Amino acid sequence: MRILGIDPGYGITGFGLIEGERNQFRLVNCGAITTPAGMDFSARLEIIYNDMQELLKVAKPDAVAIEELFFGQNVTTGIGVAQSRGVILLAIRQAGLEVTSYKPMQVKQAVVGYGKATKHQVMDMTKRILNLSQVPKPDDAADAVAIALCHARSATSLLANIK
């Protein structure tokens, strides 16, 4: 099963593609969709949407997982991320794929085994689970890989059915 994890953002949207079968996972690809800071916001959303459409065509995932939004202290940033997440979800649905959302705490629980794990602990476990020599870069891509792993571990019954 090919799982695409997405960490939404409007400056940087991380993605991580893994393959898994019977609790064995490997990283296929990861990276980020980026947009220039000074650009008109609607143009940034268009770049994210178009790049996400292309990523979905190339990656050919069986499943897509995306992080749910967490509104911290900066609501203005959260609104921009929400708009980015919206165009990402639209691209996924138009590709005919289902999408599952995970809260940050669920990702930490699935990857580390502790819902209040630190970012460093999540990245270290992601590296260990996938037997990588280093943590994926940028951080947004590493987060997206962890989201994909979360889905893989949450969908174990589906992976057991893949032959």
* Total structural domains within the chain: 1
Those residues whose C-beta lies under 8 Å from the C-beta of residue 57, and which sit 6 or more positions away, are 95
Q: Is 139 a catalytic residue?
A: no
Q: Is 7 a catalytic residue?
A: yes
- Closest-CA residue to 19 (of 7, 30, 3, 35): 3
Model confidence at 9: pLDDT above 80: yes
Q: Is 140 a catalytic residue?
A: yes
Instruction: State the pLDDT at residue 73.
Output: 59
Indicate which residue of 67, 98, 139, 143 is catalytic: 67
Indicate which residue of 40, 46, 98, 140 is catalytic: 140
Model confidence at 162: pLDDT above 90: no
What is the rounded average pLDDT for all residues in the chain?
A: 91
Q: Got the DSSP string for 60-75?
A: --SEEEEEPP---S-H
For the stretch 15-24, pLDDT in tens is 999 998 878 8
Q: What CATH number does the domain containing 49 carry? A: 3.30.420.10
Instruction: State the pLDDT at residue 78.
Output: 83
Indicate which residue of 7, 21, 124, 139 is catalytic: 7
For the stretch 88-147, pLDDT in tens is 999 999 999 999 999 999 999 999 999 999 999 999 999 999 999 999 999 999 999 999
Model confidence at 71: pLDDT above 80: no
For the stretch 103-117, pLDDT in tens is 999 999 999 999 999
Domain that residue 132 falls in:
2-160
For the stretch 22-33, pLDDT in tens is 788 999 999 999
